[in-house]
């Protein structure tokens, strides 16, 4: 949204830390890959795997050279042949559109949701 008086957009937003390493991580890159593969085989999505790595294992990012595997989670899954055929973000959009369609079947006068469905489908 624009600022109140300047008619310009602000510069707020979260930024990743400048540090390129995480010295507190005690896992080797091979161990991180094994954890990611194990979680993917359990049925977790890439976003859920990232949250689990951050919260339970203390690994801030798999992309870091030191304290990480040097690859994105999706690249690790592709390397091991576990990546889904439809990307996760596209699958989430499809699920959202289907749920909105079911909602609109029951609530035909919900014009706000109708607009949301149009935006989601586009």
Determine contact, residues 17/30, Cβ cutoff 8 Å.
no
Q: Which residue, chain included where needed, has tokens 């909602």? A: 103
Q: Report d(CA 117, CA 102) in Å as an integer.
A: 11
What residue segments make up the domains of the chain, in order of their start?
A: 29-79, 88-121
Q: Report d(CA 41, CA 24) in Å as an integer.
A: 27
* Model confidence, pTM: 0.74
pLDDT in tens, 98-116: 999 999 999 999 999 999 9
Would you state the pLDDT for residue 61?
Answer: 87
pLDDT in tens, 12-31: 777 777 677 888 888 898 99
Rounded (to 5) percent helix, strand, coil in the chain: 50, 5, 45
Output the six-digit token pair for 31: 């161990």
Output the six-digit token pair for 121: 């489908």
Average confidence score pLDDT of the chain: 89
Would you state the pLDDT for residue 19?
Answer: 74
């Amino acid at each position: 949204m624009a600022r109140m008086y300047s008619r310009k957009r602000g510069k707020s937003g979260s930024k990743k830390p400048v540090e390129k390493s995480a010295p507190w991580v005690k896992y080797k890159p091979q161990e991180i890959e094994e954890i990611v593969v194990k979680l993917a085989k359990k049925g977790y999505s890439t976003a859920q795997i990232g949250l689990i790595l951050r919260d339970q294992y203390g690994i801030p990012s798999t992309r870091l050279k030191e304290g990480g595997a040097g690859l994105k989670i999706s690249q690790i899954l592709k390397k091991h042949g576990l990546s889904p055929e439809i990307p996760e973000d596209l699958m989430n959009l499809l699920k959202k559109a289907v749920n909105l369609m079911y909602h609109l079947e029951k609530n035909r006068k919900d014009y706000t949701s109708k607009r949301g469905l149009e935006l989601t489908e586009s």
